[in-house]
Structure 1
Amino acid sequence: MKILMLTDLYPEAQEADPSVFALHRFCRQWALDNQVWVLRPYCTPNWRLRKRSMPSRWQLEGVDVMSVAVPKFPARPWFFSGFLQRVMNRIQPDVMVGHLGFNLYLAARLAKRNRLPLVAAVHMGDLVHGPRMLGETRLKRVFQQANRLAPRSLAVSRRLLKRFPELESRSRTAWSGLDSAGFRSDAARENRLCEPLAGQPLRIITACRLTKLKNVDVTLRALAGLGSTISWELIVAGDGPERARLERLAVKLGIAARVTFTGWLERSLLRDHLSRAQLFVMVSAPETFGLVYLDAMAAGCLVVGAKNEGIDGIVKHQRNGWLCPPGDPDALAAVLREVDSLGADSRQRMARESRRTVAALTEEAAAGNYLDILREAVNAGER
Structure 2
Amino acid sequence: MSTSFAPHPPTVTGPAPSGGGRRRSRVLIGTDTYPPDVNGAAYFTARLVRGLTERGVDVHLVCPSPTGPPHVVERDGVVEHRLRSMPSLAHESVRLALPTGVRGHLNRLLDRLRPDAVHIQNHFLVGRMLTGAACDHGVPVVATNHFMPENLFDHLRMPWPLRPYAARLAWWDLNRILGRAEHVTTPTPTAARLLREQGFVHTVEAVSCGIDLDRFRPLPEDSEVDERRRLRARFGLPDRPTMLFVGRLDEEKRIDELVRAVARTSDVQLVLAGQGSHRERSAELARSEGVADRVRFLGFVAHEDLPDVYRCADVFTIAGIAELQSIATLEAMASGLPVVAADAMALPHLVEEGRNGHLYEPGDPDGLADRVESVVTSERNRARMGEHSRLMASRHRLEDSLKRFERIYEDASVGAFASFSGGR
TM-score bracket relative to the smaller structure = 0.7 to 0.9
In structure 2, what residue type is equivalent to 1:296? Answer: A
- Please give the per-residue CA displacement for 1:315-372, whole angstroms capped at 9, x wherever unaligned: 333332223344432332232243245573x445423421211223222122112222
1:186-201 map, 5 Å: 188=221, 201=240
- Distance, in Å, in 1 between the alignment partners of 2:347 and 2:48 is 18
Residue 330 of structure 1 corresponds to 366
Q: Once the 2 structures are TM-superposed, how far is the Cα of residue 6 of structure 1 from its aligned partner?
A: 0.9
Residue 271 of structure 2 corresponds to 235
1:155-234 map, 5 Å: 155-164=190-199, 166-167=201-202, 170-184=203-217, 188=221, 201-226=240-265, 230-234=266-270
Q: Once the 2 structures are TM-superposed, how far is the Cα of residue 263 of structure 1 from its aligned partner?
A: 2.0
Q: Specify which of 258, 265, 286 is matched with residue 294 of structure 2.
A: 258
CA contact (8 A) 2:185 2:206 kept: yes
State the TM-score, normalizing by the size of structure 1: 0.80
Residue 5 of structure 1 corresponds to 29
Residue 183 of structure 2 corresponds to 148
Aligned residues: 357
Q: Specify which of 311, 329, 340 is matched with residue 275 of structure 1.
A: 311
- Distance, in Å, in 2 between the alignment partners of 1:207 and 1:5 is 27
| Aligned: 1:360 with 2:399 | no
Residue 22 of structure 2 corresponds to none
CA contact (8 A) 1:234 1:260 kept: yes
Identity of aligned residues (%): 25
Q: Once the 2 structures are TM-superposed, how far is the Cα of residue 236 of structure 1 from its aligned partner?
A: 1.6
- Distance, in Å, in 1 between the alignment partners of 2:197 and 2:360 is 21
- Distance, in Å, in 2 between the alignment partners of 1:286 and 1:247 is 23
| Aligned: 1:23 with 2:45 | yes
In structure 2, what residue type is equivalent to 1:6? Answer: G
- Distance, in Å, in 2 between the alignment partners of 1:318 and 1:70 is 47
- Distance, in Å, in 2 between the alignment partners of 1:96 and 1:127 is 27
CA contact (8 A) 2:218 2:335 kept: no
Judging changes above 3 Å, is the alpha-carbon distance between structure 1 residues 258 and 303 closer, same or farther for their aligned structure 2 residues? Answer: same
In structure 1, what residue type is equivalent to 2:395? Answer: A
- Please give the per-residue CA displacement for 1:172-210, whole angstroms capped at 9, x wherever unaligned: 112112223444469739978xx9xxxx94321212222
Q: Once the 2 structures are TM-superposed, how far is the Cα of residue 143 of structure 1 from its aligned partner?
A: 2.8
- Distance, in Å, in 1 between the alignment partners of 2:170 and 2:297 is 39
CA contact (8 A) 1:189 1:298 kept: no
- Distance, in Å, in 2 between the alignment partners of 1:29 and 1:211 is 29
Q: Once the 2 structures are TM-superposed, how far is the Cα of residue 218 of structure 1 from its aligned partner?
A: 1.0
Q: Once the 2 structures are TM-superposed, how far is the Cα of residue 255 of structure 1 from its aligned partner?
A: 0.6
Residue 60 of structure 1 corresponds to 75
Judging changes above 3 Å, is the alpha-carbon distance between structure 1 residues 278 and 59 closer, same or farther for their aligned structure 2 residues? Answer: same
- Distance, in Å, in 2 between the alignment partners of 1:60 and 1:145 is 30
- Distance, in Å, in 1 between the alignment partners of 2:133 and 2:45 is 20
- Distance, in Å, in 2 between the alignment partners of 1:311 and 1:286 is 9
Residue 47 of structure 1 corresponds to none
In structure 1, what residue type is equivalent to 2:317? Answer: V
- Distance, in Å, in 2 between the alignment partners of 1:8 and 1:124 is 12
Residue 109 of structure 2 corresponds to 87
- Distance, in Å, in 1 between the alignment partners of 2:391 and 2:196 is 28
- Distance, in Å, in 1 between the alignment partners of 2:398 and 2:97 is 33
- 1:316 match: secondary structure: coil
Q: Once the 2 structures are TM-superposed, how far is the Cα of residue 379 of structure 1 from its aligned partner?
A: 3.1
In structure 1, what residue type is equivalent to 2:399? Answer: E
- 2:106 match: secondary structure: helix
In structure 1, what residue type is equivalent to 2:393? Answer: V
Residue 412 of structure 2 corresponds to 377
Q: Once the 2 structures are TM-superposed, how far is the Cα of residue 65 of structure 1 from its aligned partner?
A: 0.8
Residue 351 of structure 1 corresponds to 386
Q: Once the 2 structures are TM-superposed, how far is the Cα of residue 36 of structure 1 from its aligned partner?
A: 0.9
Q: Once the 2 structures are TM-superposed, how far is the Cα of residue 171 of structure 1 from its aligned partner?
A: 1.8
In the alignment, structure 2 segments of 5+ residues that lack a partner are 1-24, 87-95, 154-164, 229-238, 420-424
CA contact (8 A) 1:127 1:160 kept: no
CA contact (8 A) 1:150 1:373 kept: no
1:41-52 map, 5 Å: 41=64
In structure 2, what residue type is equivalent to 1:36? Answer: V
In structure 1, what residue type is equivalent to 2:314? Answer: Q
| Aligned: 1:117 with 2:140 | yes
Judging changes above 3 Å, is the alpha-carbon distance between structure 1 residues 246 and 269 closer, same or farther for their aligned structure 2 residues? Answer: same
Q: Once the 2 structures are TM-superposed, how far is the Cα of residue 150 of structure 1 from its aligned partner?
A: 0.6
- Please give the per-residue CA displacement for 1:139-192, whole angstroms capped at 9, x wherever unaligned: 32323222111112333112123334732xx32112112223444469739978
- Please give the per-residue CA displacement for 1:41-99, whole angstroms capped at 9, x wherever unaligned: 479xxxxxxxxx862221222111111138999999x863x222111111111211111
CA contact (8 A) 1:283 1:325 kept: no
CA contact (8 A) 2:123 2:178 kept: no
Judging changes above 3 Å, is the alpha-carbon distance between structure 1 residues 75 and 300 closer, same or farther for their aligned structure 2 residues? Answer: closer
In structure 1, what residue type is equivalent to 2:188? Answer: S
CA contact (8 A) 1:122 1:149 kept: yes
